[in-house]
Each structure stands twice: as C-alpha cells, then as structure tokens.
Amino acid sequence: MNDPYEEEGAPGGVVKKFMYINRRAPYGTIYALEGLEVALVGAAFEQDVSMVFIDDGVFQLKKEQDTIETGMKNFSPTYRALEMYDVEKLYVEKESLEARGLSEDDLLVPVQVLEATALAELIDTQDVVLNF
C-alpha cells in the first residue's frame, strides 16, 4: 500500500481508550463503511479500541449479506479482519438485537452482548468516543 499519509505507533507512548459507536445499517448510508475505515486506519496508532454496535448498527455484523443486486460492495468480510488490526473488543447492545429479532448466532464475528445499562457504564470509561 503506497499511502503518503501513513503514520504509526502510539504518539508519545500515549494509549487512550477509543470507542467507535456504530448505530446505522451497513447500507443506505455511508456511515458504517467510513466508520469502519477509521477503526482500520486508527489501528496503526496502537490505542485501546472498542467497537460498539447499537440500533441498526447491529445489522453491520449480520451474516450472509448479499448486495449483488444493489451494485454495492459487500464489505461485511472486513469485520472479520478487525481482529488482525488488534480491534478485538466488539460489543453489541442486547436490546438492539432483540428488537430486530436477531441473536448472536446471526452475527459473523464473536461479540460480547451487553445490556444498555452495562454499555452506558462502558462508554463512561472511555477517553475518546466517536459516533458513526
């Protein structure tokens, strides 16, 4: 990859807790895709990263996405690559799954399912929170 904008390592050795909250469906808007790009590029900075999926964001992790008829790229395999970028902490909100008739078995990566109150506590512990 010939990226003139590449940076590496934790600046000054500072490691912060970064949380990326994903609330939108994978297709229909670009927030899911561009949000994922932040997580991937950000991995080079070796921070303590968590990704959270709430509301329609839980659909981003759904197995068997078939986008052929839409002409859009199915980027869901990228979520399996997160692990290789040291983004291993993936959380899904329990209420969001249930409201959408989904369970952990429907998801293409291992996640920790948390209730909203537990998630709120987790968010509280973070240094930097971004919403997509």
Partner 1 sequence: MKIALLITEGPYTHQAADSAYQFAKSALAKGHEIIRVFFYHDGVNVGTRLTTPPQDDRNITRMWQELAAEFSLDLVVCVAAAQRRGIVDTDEQKRHGKDANNLADGFRISGLGQLVESGILADRLVSFGD
Which residues of this protein are in contact with partner 1, per CB under 8 A? Answer: 3, 5-7, 10-11, 14, 16, 18, 30-31, 34, 37-38, 41-42, 44-45, 47, 127-128, 130-131
Identify any residues that bridge with 51 across adjacent strands, giving them in sequence order: 20, 90
Select 16 or 80, whichever has its Cβ closest to partner 1.
16
Task: Give the residue with the Cβ less far from partner 1, 48 or 106.
Answer: 48
Distance of closest approach, residue 54 Cβ to partner 1, in angstroms: 15
Minimum CB distance to partner 1 smaller for 72 or for 128: 128
What are the backbone angles phi and psi of residue 79, rounded to the nearest 5°?
Answer: -65, -30
Of the CA atoms within 13 Å of residue 93, those in its CB half-sphere come to 22
Rounded-to-integer distance, Cα 67 and Cα 98, Å: 24
Q: Which of 64, 4, 73 has the alpha carbon at shortest distance from 32?
A: 73
> Please, what is the minimum distance in Å from the beta carbon of residue 45 to partner 1?
5
- If you search the block for the tokens 């969001």, which residue do you land on? 96
Rounded to a whole number of angstroms, the minimum distance from the CB of residue 22 to partner 1 is 13
